Amino acid sequence: MAPSAEGFDTVLVVDYGAQYAQLIARRVRECRVFSEIVPSSMPVAQLLAKKPKAIILSGGPSSVYVEGAPQTDPELFDAGVPVFGICYGYQAMALALGGEVRKTGLSEFGRTELTVAGDGGVVLAGLPPQYKVWMSHGDAVFAPPPGFIATAATDGAPVAAFEDPARKFAGVQFHPEVLHTEHGQKVLEHFLYDVAECRPTWTMVNIVEEQIDRIRLQVGGKRAICGLSGGVDSAVAAALVQRAIGDQLTCVFVDHGLLRKGEAEQVEQDFVASTGVNLKVVDASERFLAALDGVSDPEEKRKIIGREFIRVFEHAAREVIEANESAGETVDFLVQGTLYPDVVESGGGEGAANIKSHHNVGGLPDDLQFALVEPLRTLFKDEVRRVGEQLGLPSEIVWRQPFPGPGLAIRIVGAVTRDRLAVLREADAIAREELTAAGLDREIWQCPVVLLADVRSVGVQGDGRTYGHPAVLRPVSSEDAMTADWTRVPYDVLARISTRITNEVREINRVTLDITSKPPGTIEWE
């Protein structure tokens, strides 16, 4: 089932193969206009069948002159739909409409000064005559298509922006969607509101109301089950379905013993108190610890945790099904916290029930069949958090940092033991407490704490030498997890975290800071 948002203006973002499409789609939604990503291979007739209010052609890694590079069908521009080209999409648009695009032999990458021509037309109206934008191109537009006017230039791009207001077409060589481009959001707003005349009605209140109606229509009087992981996505999905169908929903929480300090209690107490959901708790911590005994290889850890999770969840689901069958009712639906990036990255494929890869957890057995309820399928993570707030979930749940399904097991470099988990839990709790006290919760996307359990270093604690474990702080900032940079945490906050960990967690005698970006490093160590 493709994402949809009936009743809202829809902007299609055509993906030309780079990571920009998701970011553009998010920026459009920040303008309170619904957006959907579609592949550049989609025929024009299928694009138009979605009845878009506007179409945005995204950036991409290719040159328009490379053999096999994606092209834009000129038929698109005869449909009467407003079109906005960005970077590669801008050049493909220029080429399709008869403009001149040249291989210059020169490239512009990174911050570049843009000079606005005249009044900037509609899209650049009211912006400074010169400002910094983010460029990433080798080819350049040297002459706009017939009927277009050039509205900006840079040293490497003689025509860095153009528009044809009469036909509601416009484009820019730079990337307005990235934070490094000054006034980028304003550029998008001008196209969406002033050129395409989109209505800014995509709000959290409307989203919640629409999804509640959809869930009630889909589920009817039948019953549903949801696997709670302790994360934001499953919590918000469950709360939304609970709001729609009440006690027809049963949630199953598998406590694998690998969560952070206080998180299991948060699910069992705070989530239930705020939603009133029926919750079945399965304490499987001993089972997971036994299965992980002596295993140090990170991939093997993930496979074991995935396998055991499926077995435990399957057993719990069967118990829920049997309890309902004895009362003459059936459980026909499985609630999943699938987000829009999951849909995009899986190709937007259709099909029935495979449980969402619970952060490297596989599918349910074939004989345990459900129809899927995926109320967050059209949303990005930041939108999910706002829905959670709208539903009244505790901020500790809504703003919880992303946390891997295999939990602390992949933040222990070495074998997982009960003692090592206890050590890491305390260190992690201290780091989170101090970051919260410093007001950095929403500035830092997440801060994994890694225990180097197979490494020991000499230290001095009290009057004696110690031979303890190092711990690594990994504070990162990111919007999409595809790329990330280490967060510049104030030195005094880092000092407090280090002092508290080495004072309060005796097994740790050294705290280090990971300052690697992604790429080349990953966010997790294992």
Tell me whether strands 34-39 and 149-153 are parallel, antiparallel or unpaired.
unpaired
Continuous H helices in 411-506? 418-437, 491-504
- Report which of 5, 38, 371, 404 is spatially closest to residue 224, judged by C-alpha positions: 371
Residue 447 annotated as catalytic: no
Q: How far apart are CA 100 and CA 78, in angstroms?
A: 20
Q: How far apart are CA 365 and CA 256, in angstroms?
A: 20
Q: How far apart are CA 250 and CA 225, in angstroms?
A: 5
Residue 143: φ, ψ to 5°? -145, 130
Residue 181: φ, ψ to 5°? -85, 120
Contact (CB, 8 A) for 420 and 414: yes
Buried b (16+ CB within 10 A) or exposed e, 161-181: bbbbeebbbbbbbbbbbbeeb
- Report which of 45, 131, 68, 141 is spatially closest to residue 101, judged by C-alpha positions: 141
Contact (CB, 8 A) for 471 and 412: no
Tell me whether strands 485-486 and 476-477 are parallel, antiparallel or unpaired.
antiparallel
Residue among 31, 36, 87, 374 flagged as catalytic: 87
Residue 177 annotated as catalytic: yes
Q: How far apart are CA 394 and CA 265, in angstroms?
A: 13
DSSP state of 67: T
Q: Identify each DSSP E strand in 75-208 by its residue range.
A: 83-86, 100-116, 130-143, 149-153, 161-164, 169-172
Q: At what angle do helices 418-437 and 491-504 cross, to 10 degrees?
A: 150
Q: How far apart are CA 256 and CA 36, in angstroms?
A: 36
Q: Which long-range contacts (CB under 8 A, 24 or more apart) does 282-286 make?
A: 282/252, 282/253, 282/254, 282/255, 282/312, 282/315, 282/316, 283/255, 283/257, 284/254, 284/255, 284/256, 284/257, 284/308, 284/312, 285/255, 285/256, 285/257, 285/258, 286/257
Provide the terminal-to-terminal Cα distance of the chain, rounded to the nearest Å: 34
Residue where the block lists tokens 């140090």 = 296
293: left (phi over 0), alpha (psi -120 to 50) or beta: beta
Residue among 137, 175, 190, 358 flagged as catalytic: 175
Residue among 177, 308, 374, 526 flagged as catalytic: 177
Catalytic residues: 87, 175, 177
